[in-house]
């Protein structure tokens, strides 16, 4: 199942090799389960998946999206190249998406900003075998089932068993912090609204994280009643990983969840909110 045969492909053989039920569940979820929608079988009912370019979605909603993408990319393979259990009980999983060539239209995904992509309209440079970098993903389990999946855009090279020929554009985009959905739609000629550029307008020091002061400086331009103390309260709510700052993904999720007051957003925040408020609502429905 894993890199270099580290997890036998047969479940019985995997158990004989000492692989745990949790490891086998993760493998099944992130390979065939991601493509045919059965990932939900290995997840809790409230499980969420967060991938680059989007806020966390319920896994069931994400699987609906993935099965639609699979129609356009029938040769898509999801590779699991390593599973390591961490001291805190989470798992670090090395995953690689090998989309192959686009062979049919990709439909618009209702409730998201992801548009229809017609095969006849994609650029010549996109008419290739598309391969993503190996991504470092964290899986959190509860009661033997997957509770949370987070891929923050970190990649790894030289992984045993990976498809080495990563599409150059994809490699560049992930290296620039613009991997995931942004990279895919940009490559096929349907660039998404540049949420990254909007975020960067607030990110005064360019470190990819927003401090309370940076958010205060941006929001106070739209509303003189904004206070730093109130912004600090919002940062505490939006800061999902507890590091004291707000990442781009955390900010998008906070806007979608109405954590940031609408009256504070102005044009900047409203543009970000419009990107992801609908999918969040659709996922909750």
> How far is Cα 22 from Cα 42, in angstroms, rounded to an integer?
9
Beta strands in 143-282 (DSSP E): 145-156, 209-210, 246-247
pLDDT over 90, % of the chain = 47
Query: Pairing between strand 91-100 and 77-85?
Result: antiparallel
Q: Categorize the per-residue pLDDT at 259 as very low, low, confident or very high, splitting at 50, 70 and 90.
A: low
pLDDT at 262: 52
Task: Kindly give, in sequence order, each residue whose CB lies less than 8 Å from that of residue 33, ignoring residues fewer than 6 positions away.
Answer: 39, 40, 41, 42
Q: Categorize the per-residue pLDDT at 68 as very low, low, confident or very high, splitting at 50, 70 and 90.
A: confident
Per-residue CA distances from 30 to 33, 66, 77, 141, 219 (Å): 6, 12, 10, 14, 39
Per-residue CA distances from 194 to 3, 25, 181, 182 (Å): 35, 36, 11, 8
State the angle between helix axes of 212-219 and 228-238 in degrees (0 to 180), rounded to the nearest 10. 120
Segment among 29-33, 47-51, 76-80, 253-257 with least mean pLDDT: 253-257
Q: What is the mean pLDDT of the chain?
A: 83
Beta strands in 108-165 (DSSP E): 130-142, 145-156
Q: Which residue has the higher pLDDT, 5 or 184?
A: 184
Q: Is the pLDDT of residue 120 over 90?
A: yes
pLDDT at 277: 46
User: Can you tell me the mean pLDDT for 239-265?
Assistant: 72
Alpha-carbon Rg for the chain, nearest whole angstrom, is 19
> How far is Cα 206 from Cα 33, in angstroms, rounded to an integer?
37
Q: Is the pLDDT of residue 280 over 70?
A: no
Q: Categorize the per-residue pLDDT at 185 as very low, low, confident or very high, splitting at 50, 70 and 90.
A: very high
Query: Pairing between strand 130-142 and 246-247?
Result: unpaired
Residues 213-228: pLDDT tens digits? 988 887 777 666 778 8
User: Can you tell me the mean pLDDT for 78-96?
Assistant: 95
CB atoms within 10 A of CB 261: 13
pLDDT at 275: 44
> How far is Cα 208 from Cα 14, in angstroms, rounded to an integer?
40
State the angle between helix axes of 248-256 and 262-284 in degrees (0 to 180), rounded to the nearest 10. 80
Q: Is the pLDDT of residue 162 over 80?
A: yes
Query: Pairing between strand 57-58 and 43-50?
Result: antiparallel
Element (H, E) at 91: strand 91-100
pLDDT at 9: 58
Segment among 91-95, 147-151, 237-241, 265-269 with least mean pLDDT: 265-269
């Amino acid at each position: 199942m894993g890199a270099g045969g580290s997890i036998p492909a047969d479940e019985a053989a995997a158990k004989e090799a000492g692989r745990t039920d949790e490891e086998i569940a993760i493998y099944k979820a992130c390979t065939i389960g991601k493509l045919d929608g059965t990932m939900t079988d290995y997840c809790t009912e409230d499980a969420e998946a967060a991938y680059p370019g989007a806020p966390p979605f319920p896994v069931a909603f994400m699987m609906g999206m993935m099965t639609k993408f699979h129609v356009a990319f029938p040769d898509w393979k999801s590779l699991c190249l390593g599973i390591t259990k961490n001291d805190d009980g989470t798992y670090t999983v090395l995953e690689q998406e090998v989309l192959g060539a686009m062979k049919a239209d990709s439909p618009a995904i209702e409730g998201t900003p992801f548009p229809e992509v017609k095969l006849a309209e994609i650029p010549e440079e996109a008419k290739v075998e598309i391969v993503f970098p190996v991504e470092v993903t964290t899986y959190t389990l509860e009661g033997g089932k997957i509770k949370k999946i987070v891929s923050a855009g970190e990649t790894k090279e030289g992984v045993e068993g990976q498809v080495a020929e990563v599409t150059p554009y994809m490699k560049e985009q992930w290296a620039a912090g613009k991997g995931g959905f942004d990279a895919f739609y940009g490559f096929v000629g349907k660039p998404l609204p540049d949420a990254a550029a909007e975020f960067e307008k607030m990110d005064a020091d360019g470190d990819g994280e927003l401090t309370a002061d940076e958010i205060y400086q941006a929001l106070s331009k739209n509303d003189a009643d904004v206070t730093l103390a109130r912004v600090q309260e919002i940062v505490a709510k939006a800061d999902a990983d507890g590091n004291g700052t707000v990442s781009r993904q955390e900010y998008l999720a906070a806007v979608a969840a109405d954590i940031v007051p609408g009256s504070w957003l102005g044009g900047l925040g409203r543009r970000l909110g419009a990107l992801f408020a609908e999918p969040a609502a659709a996922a909750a429905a």
